[in-house]
Amino acid sequence: MKKATVEPSCTGQFSSLFLDYLAQKPELQSFYSFFPAIENFEKLIQQKNFSQEKRDVLTDVLHQQYEGFTISERTKDQIESLRSAKTFTVITGHQLNLFTGPLYFIYKIVTTINLAEQLKKAYPDYHFVPVYWLASEDHDFDEINYFKLDGQKYQWNSNQTGSVGDFQLDETFREFYKSVAHFAPEFFKDAYLGSKTLAEAGRKYVHHLFGEKGLLIVDGKSRELREFFTEVIQDDLTQHTAFTKATKQTQVLEDLGYKSQIFPREINLFYSVKGIRERIEQVGDRYQVLNTELEFSKEEILQLAKDTPEVFSPNVVLRPLYQEMILPNLAYIGGPAEIVYWLQLKPVFDYFGEAFPAVMPRNFATVLDKPIQRKIEKLGLSHKELFQSVLDWKKGYIETHASTDLFLSEERDALKAVFENAKPQALTLDQTLGKSFEAATVRANKILDQLAKKLRKAEERKHAQEIRIREEIFSYLYPGGSPQERVENFMKFYLGNPEFIEELFGAFDPLDFNFIILSQDGDKG
């Protein structure tokens, strides 16, 4: 694929906070430890204090999570490498969207793997493992139970509840699968029809796509890993430190004029068992699990946290801290919203003595197929013009290509001269005629305005074909009004080009934060 880039700001897709972070604005420097530049990773390595005990537990847990999988020696070596004090991770995470969901799921992982490879070249004395955090504990099924391909929505409806990773791939799923079986690649069939749960299937297809690139898949839903989080769980239940620290940081951001992304709660934990993942709230001296009859005293819930920490599932405020406490991690790769909420959390990390990683944007991209490239070339659109609204583009295009002066400039000048020449003589007759001339000038200009609108409409009809093509381009780049990477599934390009993902590895640079435009070879993009 042919690659071009534009500055993120010209796309209109990013918040001011995200753009100011990329620009390293001084007022934001206290919200993170080190900016994600290659020369800063030595400092990130030095600040990461990760015990041998944690390394051994993490390695053993990963061996358990991969049991029953056919994995290569490289994957085994990647897992075992985590025992070494010279091994570090870089991580991304995402929900368990069906069939990977939107394109940016793939973009996240490609960015993460490329970062690990670049770090190895820059710091050969260390080893870097790319990690995908399998979000098996999320419970918002409506956000992940579908994918979109070429304008069609494919959705699985299920009455199951609780963490989506535990959802059984039952008969309702098998019926759903029949609706996509005619185009889904074989590895999806193996993953979904050969697995019992959504989490198991997700691990299988991600491993199929990226396992040979060295990617490890970590499911944080583990008793052994959660034990390292017990202190934070107990603090959150009784002291609410994360709430206090994150709320204060959020207020500082908002005082600077930025919008926050997440809203901390006093208790940022869910109670999570089979079929249930519900928030915990303190009511008086009791702890209640919402939408259930479960409740505990303070002593009971603290003992529960000590005995079975795995039933306490962190929300978005605590999950980043949990990830960093159980991984020898240096960088988190996420989307623009994720970058923003990480910036709200650094004081929480500081309080619990956990190093804050480099917070990195994933690579952003749009992919142009050959038909759309031809349309872009026909209109002579620049890369920046691709991100204009149709209305703004149409205004400029019509003005540039109009066969007449749409503003009727000469006529306005002539009309102005008529009134200016006649007005002095009229005033010698009657001073009150001045207002009449002014009113007549306004009425005449309004008539010209109306004529100018009609001229513009006529020019638009004359260029109707070009406008239609521009609307088609916009619909391709923004299906349903949202950016392509947030809507289309990767199969849109993969089915016709099995090398699509491999080509992304060649096009993406994890340390270049510009927006990428990818064109298929053979045509000018």
Q: Are residues 123 and 152 in the same domain?
A: yes
Within 8 A by CB and 6+ apart from 297, the residues are 285, 286, 287
Same domain, 455 and 324: no
Kindly state whether residue 261 falls inside one of the protein's structural domains.
Answer: no
Span 374-433, pLDDT tens digits: 999 999 999 999 999 998 888 877 777 665 655 555 666 666 666 666 666 666 766 777
Both tokens of 317, joined, read 């405020």
Q: Judge contact between 314 and 229, C-beta under 8 A.
A: yes
In a domain, residue 108? The reply is yes
77 and 149 both lie in a single domain: yes
292 inside domain:
no
CATH classification at residue 96: 3.40.50
Same domain assignment for residues 211 and 112 = yes
What is the residue type of 291?
Answer: N
- Same domain membership, residue 222 and residue 172: yes
Query: CB neighbours of 113 closer than 8 A, spacing ≥ 6?
Result: 130, 210, 213, 214, 215, 505
Q: What is the mean pLDDT of residues 215-219?
A: 98
pLDDT value at position 488? 97
pLDDT the model gives residue 449: 73
Q: Final residue of a domain: which of 466, 481, 496?
A: 481
Specify whether 387 is located in the same domain as 423.
yes
- Whole-angstrom Cα distance, residue 347 to residue 244? 9
pLDDT of amino acid 440 = 72
| Residue 76 sits in the same domain as residue 199 | yes
pLDDT above 60: residue 359? yes
Final residue of a domain: which of 363, 398, 430?
363
Give yes or no: residues 357 and 384 share one domain. Answer: no
The residue count for the chain = 525
Identity at 5, one-letter amino acid code = T
> Taking residues 96-112, what's their average pLDDT?
97
Task: Please give the residue range of the domain that contains residue 422.
Answer: 380-481
Q: Within a 10 A sphere around the Cβ of 35, how many other Cβ atoms?
A: 15
For the cut 70, the answer to whether the pLDDT of residue 455 exceeds it is no
Let me know if residue 334 belongs to a domain. yes
Decide: 62 and 79 in contact? Cβ < 8 Å.
yes
In a domain, 525, yes or no: no
Percent of the chain at pLDDT exceeding 70: 91
Q: Look up residue 69 and give its DSSP letter.
A: S
Say if residue 387 is in the same domain as residue 359: no
Q: Which token pair is 169? A: 């791939």
Residues 396 and 358 in one domain: no
Q: What rounded mean pLDDT belongs to the chain?
A: 92
C-alpha dihedral, 30 to 35 to 40 to 42, nearest 10°? 70
Looking at residue 414, its pLDDT comes to 66
Query: In this predicted structure, which of 115-119, 220-224, 446-450, 490-494 has the lowest mean pLDDT?
Result: 446-450
Shared domain for 97 and 58, answered yes or no, is yes
Neighbours of 512 (CB within 10 A): 10
Q: Structural domain tally of the chain?
A: 2
In a domain, 260, yes or no: no
Tell the burial category of 252 from Cβ atoms under 10 Å away from its Cβ (0-12, 13-18, 19+): middle
Under the banding of pLDDT at 50, 70 and 90, the label for residue 524 is: very low
Q: Is pLDDT at 437 greater than 80 in this prediction?
A: no
Of 408, 407, 444, 409, the closest CA to residue 423 belongs to 444
The CA distance from 355 to 258, in Å, is 25
384 and 359, same structural domain?
no
Q: How far apart are CA 191 and CA 203, in angstroms?
A: 8
Query: What are the pLDDT digits (tens) for 134-188?
Result: 999 999 999 999 999 999 999 999 999 999 999 999 999 999 999 999 999 999 9
Q: pLDDT > 90: what percent of the chain?
A: 83
DSSP 488: B
State both tokens at 244.
């206090």
Q: Among 446, 462, 481, which residue terminates a domain?
A: 481
Tell me, yes or no, whether 269 lies in a domain.
Answer: no
pLDDT at 523: 39
Residues paired with residue 236 on neighbouring β-strands, in sequence order: none
**Spatial distance between the Cα atoms of 144 and 138, rounded to a whole number of angstroms:** 10
From CA 83, how far away is CA 55, in angstroms rounded?
5
Under 8 Å between Cβ of 328 and 88: yes
372 is a domain residue: no
